[in-house]
Chains A and B, each alone.
Chain A
Amino acid sequence: MSDEHTVSGEKTYKVDLLTRVEGEGRFHLKVKDNQVIESKLNIFEAPRYFEAFLRDRAIEEVPDIVARICGICPVAYQMSAVRALENGLGVTPSSAIRALRRLLYCGEWIESHALHVFLLHAPDFLGYDSAMAMAVDHKDLVERGLKMKKAGNALIECLGGRAIHPISIRVGGFTTTPRASALNALRDDLANALQDAIDTVTWTAALTFPDFNQAYTFVCLDHDQYPLEWGDAIHVSGSGRFPVEEFFDHSQETHVAHSTALQSHLRDGQTYLCGPMARLNRHHERLHPTARTALAKSGLSLPVHNPYQSIVVRAVELVHALAEALDLIDAYTQPEAAFSDYSPRAATACGATEAPRGLLVHRYQMGEDGLIKHADIVPPTSQNQAQIEADLVSIAPQLMALAHNDATHLCEQLIRAYDPCISCATHFLKLNIENVNAPS
């Protein structure tokens, strides 16, 4: 798992293949005389060039294509893409369609958060290599997670045809909408999952967390609901909000001292954190009442500044997504039209939604011919990457007191707390060029 090289007081902590994360990455932390001399989250996932081959593809193909960026959160890509495209085309989906999209997105949050909490993250806290190993001693726990995950997947399958790369999202709406009876059939499993999620908040809140509070800048979508599929502004903690269209003006790529990697920062040079913690800290009052209650009972104090506690935050968001999904199903009547029509036109537009891992921004330039001319996609993990590296620097002093393996594990657990999705991040690595070329 890790190698220790001690050369004249220099210590290296590294994991050559990060596990229980999506995609292929490694980290490398070099400390000399209690000073961090190198902190790298290397990503060696093979590049796939989505932004390049989106060029000259038809608008209607975009949701299918961008889904393939990430098998874990394809709905997020489809949602941000249709938001951006609809903004450019001047299409406003009906409120019924928006509700259905929110419901679909809830499905993905449930699936993704349950996956992360139970299968990827929980083994860290209980001291196992995998959920399968953990199941030997904690079968109920793993089964609870799998049940929740299944309920989320069932929701995606009902609305989108399949759990991975669903096929019904289109510009203007859905290709077809489900009968109310089809959604009602999912109710029982979702209600059971909700109860399990509430228990999960309690269970996660009782875990022991390393002491690692950081003064983060939090970035998330702003909306009058807890942000998922909609939101026209982006909020930056401590400095306020700006319209989604200005995202590319507010973010920039800079060199950081310890790395030649280009990373994403705010214009003032600040690293930032997006994702569940950012959302909860900003929007906890907009949580579903059931989730608010669970949060209150958990004793988690807000704002959350310790990334190791993100497992609790995800559990709270699980409650929210399940409770809201149930409300949306109860309020559902099959809309008259599954989608609104549109005519192609020349435009450039942005769209952002909250992927399970955080802010996901798409920008497209479209032509009158209905083809994409230019695409920019900024996934959450690219944004968090600089913050992860900064966190590794910050945690270095704590490592000195630990056995090497424990220290390495603490680092890996820290990275995992971000639920990094390297498959996503890699395709847009304007942010981290050097690292791509660094496999040994």
Chain B
Amino acid sequence: MPDTPTHSPRPRLGVFKLASCDGCQLTLLDCEDELLLLGEQIDIVHFPEATSPGQPSGPFDVAIIEGSVSTPEQQDEVQAIRRNSTVLLTIGACATSGGIQALRNFGDHDDYRRIVYAQPEYISSLATSTPVANHVPVDFELRGCPINKQQLLELITACLRGRTPAIKNESVCFECKRNDIVCVAVTQQMPCLGPVTHAGCGAICPAFNRGCFGCYGPKESAATAPLAAQMLTNGQSDEAIKRAFRLFTAESEAFREESQRHE
């Protein structure tokens, strides 16, 4: 990640939203203990969910984008944000993998419009929902649906300090074992995507007696094929395996390809 420039006393932050549920930017407001401290260290110049007025005025030292690119306007918007920003961070499954709305990429977009909207011809949207990094260079992608508050704080702090964020690309199993959680896949043969899913959530699903459903997307070197083979052995149908890999990060390469193998 490039260094955060320090030409102004406080770095200027812009928070932007594309197609999304707002949950990831809400995470910023969920930093109840740190929000005011953050406000002292960063000049939050654009964050429509929390501050007025709503017109962005760049340039930004750090821009944070939530949401996927799913309309022609958003295609232009990400270019403008990139032009106006020194460091560009994308947060959440939508911004980093297209989000759940990328399920449209596997279906017929016109059908989807017809199902939801009475007058589909009025809907201006792209046939695909794609991650921001497909359109402009991104300095760091923070994963998760939703992102983890601690990781967001680490990302922002690392940015301010000029260090590499201590955000690991390991599997959920690492967190599961560190947090002393009993593996639900081994004890209950529950389908669990933890072994191929990017860490960050704190392994909450196994802690709550359910298998990981992959909302942080694939880890690096995600060995989805042997895991899917094991799921088949354990009685899961191809259809169920396809659905499992095709959810919040369906458009990420490893999960997309695995879901397609079970079509």
A adjacent to B, CB under 8 Å: yes
CB distance from B151 to the nearest CB of A (A): 12
A149 to B28, CA, bound (A): 13
Residues of B within 8 A of A427 (CB): 116
Is A52 within 8 A of B201, CB to CB? Answer: no
Return chain A residues, CB-CB under 8 Å to B213. 64, 167
- Taken together as a complex, chains A and B put the C-alpha atoms of A176 and B247 apart, in Å, by 23
0/1 string, B203-215, CB within 8 A of A gives 1: 0110111100101
Given contacts A68-B145, A71-B23, A167-B204, contact A18 B54 (CB under 8 A): yes
A345 at the interface (CB under 8 A from B): no
Stretch at the interface among B70-78, B159-167, B252-260: B70-78
B20 at the interface (CB under 8 A from A): yes
Chain A: CB-nearest residue to B118: A430
**CB–CB B205/A161 < 8 A:** yes
- Which of these, A57, A135, A160, contacts B39 with CB under 8 Å? A135
Q: How far is the CA of A334 from the CA of B230 in the complex (A)?
A: 34
Q: Which residue of A lies closest to B100 (CB)?
A: A68
Q: Is the CB of A132 within 8 A of B36?
A: yes
A19 touches B122 (CB 8 A): no
**Is B186 engaged at the interface, CB distance under 8 Å to the other chain?**
no
Provide the residues of chain B in CB contact with A439, threshold 8 Å.
73, 124
Q: CA of A131 to CA of B50 in the docked complex: distance in angstroms? A: 7
B101/A49 in contact, CB under 8 A: yes
Mark each residue of chain B from 48 to 74: 1 if its CB lies under 8 Å from any CB of chain A, else 0. 111111110000000000010011011
In-complex Cβ contact of B146 among A45, A143, A164, A423 (8 A): A164
Partner-binding segment picked from A20-28, A296-304, A322-330 = A20-28
Question: Are the CB atoms of A46 and B70 closer together than 8 Å?
Answer: yes
Contact of A130 among B50, B107, B208 (CB under 8 A): B50
**Assuming the A-B contacts A49-B101, A146-B35, A153-B32, are A162 and B22 also in contact, with contact meaning beta carbons closer than 8 angstroms in the complex?**
no
Interface residues of B in 206-263 (CB under 8 A from A): 207-210, 213, 215, 240, 243, 247-248
Q: Which of B33, B49, B145, B209 contacts A20 (CB 8 A)?
A: B49
Chain B CB within 8 A of A395 CB: no
Nearest chain B CB to A13's CB is how many angstroms away? 14
CB-defined contacts of A52 to chain B, threshold 8 Å: 104, 107, 111-112, 115-116
| A295 at the B interface (CB under 8 A) | no
Least CB distance from B185 to A in Å reads 15
User: Is residue A338 contacting chain B, with contact meaning CB distance below 8 A?
Assistant: yes
A133 proximity list for chain B (CB < 8 A):
51
Minimal beta-carbon separation of B170 from chain A (angstroms): 19
Q: Is the CB of B20 within 8 A of A20?
A: no
A216 interface residue per 8 A CB criterion = no
Q: Contacting B52 at CB < 8 Å: which of A1, A46, A430?
A: A1
CB distance from A164 to the nearest CB of B (A): 4
User: What's the Cα separation between A16 and B247 when bound, in Å?
Assistant: 33
How far apart are the CA atoms of A162 and B213 in the complex, in Å? 14
Q: A174: which B residues are within 8 A, CB to CB?
A: 208
Over the window 254-275 of chain A, the binary record of Cβ atoms lying under 8 Å from chain B Cβ atoms (1 yes, 0 no) is: 0000000010000000000000
CB closest chain-B residue, reference A146: B32
- Contact: B104 with A433, CB < 8 Å? no
Q: Does B187 contact A (CB under 8 A)?
A: no
Contact of B243 among A16, A61, A68 (CB under 8 A): A61
CB-CB under 8 A for A51 and B116, given A17-B48, A74-B23, A161-B208: yes
Q: Provided the pairs A71-B24, A119-B29 are in contact, do residues A49 and B116 lie with their beta carbons within 8 angstroms?
A: yes
Those of A70-87 within 8 Å (CB) of chain B: 70-72, 74
Determine whether the beta carbon of B208 is less than 8 Å from that of A176. yes
Interface residue tally for chain B (C-beta within 8 Å): 70
Query: Does A187 sit at the interface, judged by CB under 8 A?
Result: no
Tell me if A179 counts as interface (CB < 8 A to partner B).
Answer: no
Return the contact of A47 from the options B23, B117, B149 (Cβ within 8 A): B117
The reply to whether A19 and B49 form a contact with Cβ atoms under 8 Å apart is yes
- Please indicate which of the listed interface residues A64, A71, A150 has the most CB atoms of chain B within 10 Å of its own CB: A71
Contact mask for chain A residues 131-164; partner B; CB cutoff 8 A; 1 contact, 0 none: 1110100010011001101100100000011111
Does B21 lie at the interface of the complex (its beta carbon under 8 Å from any beta carbon of A)?
yes
The answer to whether B29 touches A115 (Cβ under 8 A) is yes
- Report the minimum CB–CB distance from A25 to chain B (whole Å): 10
Q: Which residues of the other chain, A, contact B123 by a CB distance below 8 angstroms?
A: 47, 433, 436-437
Chain B residue numbers with a CB within 8 Å of A18 are: 48, 54
Would you call A162 and B21 a contact (CB within 8 A)?
no
Given A48-B100, A423-B21, A437-B122, A162–B116 Cβ distance below 8 Å?
no
| A434 shortest CB reach to chain B, Å | 7
With contact pairs A129-B51, A176-B208, A423-B21 given, residues A53 and B36 touching in the complex (Cβ less than 8 Å): no
Chain A hits for B35, CB < 8 A: 132, 146
- Closest A residue to B38 by beta carbon equals A132
Tell me the smallest distance from the CB of B167 to a CB of chain A, in Å: 17
Q: Is the CB of A53 within 8 A of B107?
A: yes
Q: Are B53 and A1 in contact (CB under 8 A)?
A: yes
Whether the pair B119, A433 counts as a contact (CB closer than 8 A) is: yes
Q: List 16 A-B contacts (CB under 8 A).
A: A1-B53, A19-B49, A44-B73, A46-B67, A51-B115, A53-B104, A70-B22, A71-B22, A74-B23, A115-B29, A129-B51, A130-B47, A175-B209, A433-B118, A433-B123, A436-B122
Given A17-B55, A429-B117, list of 11 further CB < 8 A pairs? A17-B54, A19-B51, A20-B49, A48-B101, A65-B247, A130-B51, A131-B50, A149-B29, A164-B27, A165-B146, A170-B210
- List A residues at the B interface (Cβ < 8 Å): 1, 15-24, 44-53, 55, 57-58, 61, 64-65, 68-72, 74, 115, 119-120, 123, 129-133, 135, 139, 142-143, 146-147, 149-150, 153, 160-165, 167-168, 170, 174-176, 253, 262, 338, 423, 427-430, 433-434, 436-437, 439
- B residues at A contact (CB < 8 Å): 17-27, 29-30, 32-33, 35-36, 39, 44, 47-55, 67, 70-71, 73-74, 99-101, 103-104, 107, 111-113, 115-119, 122-125, 129, 145-146, 148-149, 201-202, 204-205, 207-210, 213, 215, 240, 243, 247-248
